A = this chain, B = another copy of it.
Amino acid sequence: MSVERHYQREFVRTFFTSPTAVQGEEDSAKMIRSAAQLRGMQAPDVWVPDNEDATAPSMRKEGIENIIEVVAEHGADFPGEIHPRIVWHRESPATRYQGFKQMLEIAASDTDAIEHIDGFVVPEVGDIDDWKKADEFLTIVETECGLDEGCLSMSVIIESGEAELALGDLREEMGKPANNLERLFLLVDGEVDYTKDMRAMTPTGELPAWPELRHNTSRGASAAGLIAVDGPFDDIRDVEGYRNRMTENRAKGMSGIWALTPGQVVEANTAPLPAKTGSWLIEVDDQTTELESRDGREVAELDELALEELDSGQYRFRVGTNEQTLNEDELREELIDLTAYVPSMSDIVDSMEEFEAAKADGLGAIAMTRSATLVIDEVAISLSKDRMWDEATYQAAQTPISLFQDVYKNRPDQHAELEERYGADIVERTLSVGT
């Protein structure tokens, strides 16, 4: 029971933009020509030949011609969806009319490019009435070019306060007979222009984190059956920062992110997939550290921790500057509190199968147990963590599995890499669980 979606993919991990025409190159279409030939983990779920900000205004006419040529040649074989970005601005009728003409030119071309194009990306939208103007232009393009009404999807970039407010109107407006807003697909945050529109400033010029914007985008997507995508992460070299941002986003229900390079595409295609192997975490002084697994034991080597077994059979245990003397059970309780387990994909499938079996036996809730032997300063302690699973836990745990299933279904070009990552056996079990 979820909101009905009007598109195929349930999840989009990657939104990859490429300049449509680059000045001073022998082949101005060079960037999109190479992007169109990406495959596997390097190929995005959604590829965006970008005829707006990534392309100089003087090159955009040529950019449209390049899109037509490259998509006509490579579109049929591209493993992801193709959504060119055209120009648009809520405050400029001239720019909006340009955007319309760009879409029409692509759709009306005598190549078959439009057959490989899944939709268009409309930047700089304003109120919901502005979204309807773009929607109407798409309807006209479809009619003029003999396409089915509503067959082209529309994604928007949220980069103004007005557009953020419009996220609250979507669900209500999408049903109205006078528009075709059911064609909506992605809600993408554009934090650079949003920052400008909000007139926000930071000392170093770094972008603000905008947690409320991301929440509202994710919620708008959830309420209207759409997909939320975060904006570009400018510091391409900072892979760890990009991963942290994605982890934060997923906790907000935003599973996709913009990618600026094939390297970022690989990161962003991989990050939302369930872990390959499970791992134990320990949290000390608000810092979380992954324990190292050695011979089936989880070893914590942290200056902040010290553990010693006393002659009395008790333990002296120090966390930061706080030292306690504990018996074995008390020590175990402390360690259970400090640790957490990150399940692997295989672990999640195991738990789901176990719960399904229990449910078939008429049980509503069961305890799932996770055991480990922890080693601190060469002292080993075995412990078990319990978690109650009921129907709601089961369904929440299912999200990463649904994502994996969706990726597998929609991206045959990634099958080999996925099987190499997890093993064919686990992939097979994952594909059949919970469906």
Nearest chain B CB to A1's CB is how many angstroms away?
4
Which A residues between 230 and 254 are near B, CB-CB below 8 angstroms?
234, 238, 247, 250-253
A18 at the interface (CB under 8 A from B): no
In the bound complex, residues from chain B placing their C-beta under 8 Å from that of A396 are 192-193, 195-196, 205
B-binding segment of A77-85, A210-218, A371-379: A210-218
Cβ proximity bits A159-180 to B, threshold 8 Å, 1 near / 0 not = 0111011001001100000000
Cβ A160 vs Cβ B201 within 8 A: no
Cβ B168 vs Cβ A201 within 8 A: no
In the bound complex, residues from chain B placing their C-beta under 8 Å from that of A40 are none
Cα distance A57–B400 when bound, in Å?
A: 26
Cβ B255 vs Cβ A199 within 8 A: yes
Cβ A204 vs Cβ B342 within 8 A: yes
Could you tell me how many residues of chain A have their Cβ less than 8 Å away from some Cβ of chain B?
84
Indicate the member of A91, A161, A204 with the most B CB atoms within 10 Å: A161
8 Å CB contact of A204 from B160, B255, B281 = B281
Cβ B199 vs Cβ A222 within 8 A: yes
Cβ A200 vs Cβ B161 within 8 A: no
Cβ B364 vs Cβ A202 within 8 A: no
In the bound complex, residues from chain B placing their C-beta under 8 Å from that of A281 are 203-204
Cβ A252 vs Cβ B399 within 8 A: no
Cβ B222 vs Cβ A340 within 8 A: no
A424 at the interface (CB under 8 A from B): no
Contacts A92-B1, A205-B397; A252 near B200 (Cβ below 8 A):
yes
Cβ A192 vs Cβ B160 within 8 A: no
8 Å CB contact of A337 from B58, B238, B247, B402 = B238
Cβ proximity bits A395-417 to B, threshold 8 Å, 1 near / 0 not = 11111101100000000000000
B-binding segment of A28-36, A142-150, A386-394: A386-394
Cβ A219 vs Cβ B165 within 8 A: yes
Cα distance A431–B129 when bound, in Å?
A: 37
Nearest chain B CB to A319's CB is how many angstroms away?
13
Nearest chain B CB to A279's CB is how many angstroms away?
9
In the bound complex, residues from chain B placing their C-beta under 8 Å from that of A387 are 205, 234
A303 at the interface (CB under 8 A from B): yes
Cβ B223 vs Cβ A162 within 8 A: yes
A198 at the interface (CB under 8 A from B): yes
Which residue on chain B has the smallest CB distance to residue A92?
B1
In the bound complex, residues from chain B placing their C-beta under 8 Å from that of A162 are 171, 222-223
Contacts A56-B362, A400-B201; A206 near B253 (Cβ below 8 A):
no
Cα distance A215–B210 when bound, in Å?
A: 9
Cβ B250 vs Cβ A160 within 8 A: no
A101 at the interface (CB under 8 A from B): no
A272 at the interface (CB under 8 A from B): yes
Cβ A399 vs Cβ B199 within 8 A: yes
Cα distance A281–B204 when bound, in Å?
A: 9
A321 at the interface (CB under 8 A from B): yes
In the bound complex, residues from chain B placing their C-beta under 8 Å from that of A206 are 340
Which residue on chain B has the smallest CB distance to residue A1?
B91
8 Å CB contact of A201 from B1, B272, B388 = B272
14 cross-chain CB contacts under 8 A: A53-B392, A54-B364, A57-B364, A192-B396, A196-B392, A196-B395, A196-B399, A197-B222, A199-B402, A200-B251, A200-B399, A201-B400, A204-B341, A205-B343
Interface positions of A (Cβ within 8 A of B) = 1-3, 11, 23, 53-58, 89, 91-92, 127, 160-162, 164-165, 168, 171-172, 192-193, 195-206, 208, 211-213, 215-216, 218-223, 234, 238, 247, 250-253, 255, 272, 275, 281, 303, 321, 337, 340-343, 362-364, 387-388, 390-393, 395-400, 402-403
Given contact pairs A161-B219, A213-B215, A234-B387, a sample of 5 additional A-B residue pairs in the complex whose CB atoms are under 8 Å apart: A2-B197, A58-B362, A196-B398, A203-B275, A212-B216
